[in-house]
Amino acid sequence: MTIDTQCLIIGAGIAGLVAAQRLQSAGLTVTVVDKGRGVGGRMATRRLTSPDGAARIDHGAQYFTNYDPQFTPMLAEWLAVGIVRKWSNGFHASDGTPHFNQTPRYVGTDGMTTIPKYLARNLDVYTGVTITTLRWEGAFAAAAKDGRLFSAESLILTPPVPQSLALIDSGNVVLPRDLRHQLAQIEYDPCFAVLATLGSPSRLPPPGGVWPVHPEPISWIADNQQKGVSDQPAVTIHAGPQFSRDHFDDDPDAVANRLIAAADALVGADVLTYQVQRWRYSIPVQMFPARFAAIDQPGKLLFAGDAFAGPRVEGAAMSGLAAADALLAA
């Protein structure tokens, strides 16, 4: 089965969805595909059952900020329709030092996935579809693992850049050498995340996030109940980049138990159940020097995502927007 579209976007994270919204509202036919079970990519919320009920836990991005005035109207809309609210103006360090400032930290009302779900509501999105091969056959032809084929005049790639480059290498599309070299320099920190339900509320100080003074082995702990995402007590524990890199391929349960033990003094409650999420690409540490990358031959192909316009949710959204605007201008 071949699905024809004007623009195919690979990746239904925030970059892909913002780009799709912009292109669709300008009148283009847009199709978005994602290998995940749902939309959102690294804006991810999971339900975790415990003997006391079900908890909701944000395990990728924890909150987002707004520094770019171009992002402000988008945020204003999300606040107005009630899918986003302010969480806090900062958090404490593990030694109790307050780190609060003028910058609000925002969250999705039912967890971070609330935002991508809202953006995807009126888009043509295929989830659970992994693109494995990309070719140029007079149009871009993207073949999925399940046999589906997507054919498009233009293409926006928003996976983490090493994954986008693997797709490029899968077929006959060739990038100019300099661009290929620049994209190959982009690197991400991994992040080993533990999601845990608790037998009683955590002892994390309000508003429910803690930055350990030493960011290894743990760089962040969040209380999803205080955050307003979960009815049940539940925490997210993020390991630091060095620890995550050193233990990425170790037995996940052994690593999770080490992190739970290391967090115990701050969390101060019994863990009932836990799950592990390993993010191979969590936050880019080596960025591309422009808001997107693009080639015109053999067809319009753009790269977007958080490695382009800022290594966070806001940057990913701005990159998606910039890529869409560039395509429309062309």
**For residues 177 and 266, which CB has a smaller minimum distance to ligand FAD in the complex?**
266
How would you write 33-57 as a 3-class SS string? EECCCCCCCCCCEEEEEECCEEEEE
Q: How far apart are CA 330 and CA 327, in angstroms?
A: 5
**For residues 88 and 158, which CB has a smaller minimum distance to ligand FAD in the complex?**
158
Binding status of residue 259 toward ligand FAD by CB under 6 A: no
**For residues 77 and 270, which CB has a smaller minimum distance to ligand FAD in the complex?**
77
Q: How far apart are CA 220 and CA 252, in angstroms?
A: 18
Q: How far apart are CA 254 and CA 247, in angstroms?
A: 10
How many Cα atoms within 13 Å fall on the side-chain side of residue 235? 32
Among 15, 48, 204, 266, binds ligand FAD (CB under 6 A): 15
* Positions of E strands within 205-265: 209-211, 218-223, 234-239
**Least distance to ligand FAD, CB of residue 157, Å:** 9
Binding status of residue 33 toward ligand FAD by CB under 6 A: yes
Interaction residues for ligand FAD, span 290-309 (CB under 6 A):
305-306
- The amino acid that residue 236 corresponds to is T
Phi first, then psi, for residue 130 (nearest 5°) are: -95, 120
**For residues 52 and 136, which CB has a smaller minimum distance to ligand FAD in the complex?**
136
Site string for ligand FAD, 126-145 (x = CB under 6 A): ----xx--------------
Q: Are strands 124-127 and 234-239 parallel, antiparallel or unpaired?
A: unpaired
Q: Are 276 and 257 in contact (CB under 8 A)?
A: no
Q: Are 259 and 217 in contact (CB under 8 A)?
A: yes
Binding status of residue 156 toward ligand FAD by CB under 6 A: no
Question: Three-state DSSP class for 148?
Answer: coil
Q: Which stretch binds ligand FAD (CB under 6 A): 73-81, 160-168, 209-217, 261-269?
A: 160-168
**Least distance to ligand FAD, CB of residue 200, Å:** 25
Binding status of residue 13 toward ligand FAD by CB under 6 A: yes
Q: Which residues pair with 154 in a beta bridge?
A: 7, 300
Give the helix, strand, coil percentages of the chain, each rounded to 5.
25, 40, 35
Binding status of residue 22 toward ligand FAD by CB under 6 A: no
Binding status of residue 238 toward ligand FAD by CB under 6 A: yes
CB atoms near residue 319 (< 10 Å): 30
Binding status of residue 41 toward ligand FAD by CB under 6 A: yes
DSSP 64-99: B----TTTHHHHHHHHHHTSEEEEEEEEEETTS-EE
Binding status of residue 119 toward ligand FAD by CB under 6 A: no
Q: How far apart are CA 10 and CA 19, in angstroms?
A: 11
Site string for ligand FAD, 63-102 (x = CB under 6 A): xx--------------------------------------
Q: Are 104 and 66 in contact (CB under 8 A)?
A: yes
Among 5, 7, 9, 11, binds ligand FAD (CB under 6 A): 11
**For residues 10 and 322, which CB has a smaller minimum distance to ligand FAD in the complex?**
10
Among 23, 165, 271, 313, binds ligand FAD (CB under 6 A): 313
Interaction residues for ligand FAD, span 45-64 (CB under 6 A):
60-64
DSSP 8-state class, residue 252: H
Among 156, 193, 221, 323, binds ligand FAD (CB under 6 A): 193
Among 5, 158, 225, 244, binds ligand FAD (CB under 6 A): 158
- The amino acid that residue 38 corresponds to is G
Judged by the rule CB under 6 A, the positions of this chain that interact with ligand FAD are 10-16, 33-36, 41-43, 60-64, 130-131, 158-160, 163, 167, 191, 193, 238, 279, 282-283, 305-306, 312-313, 316
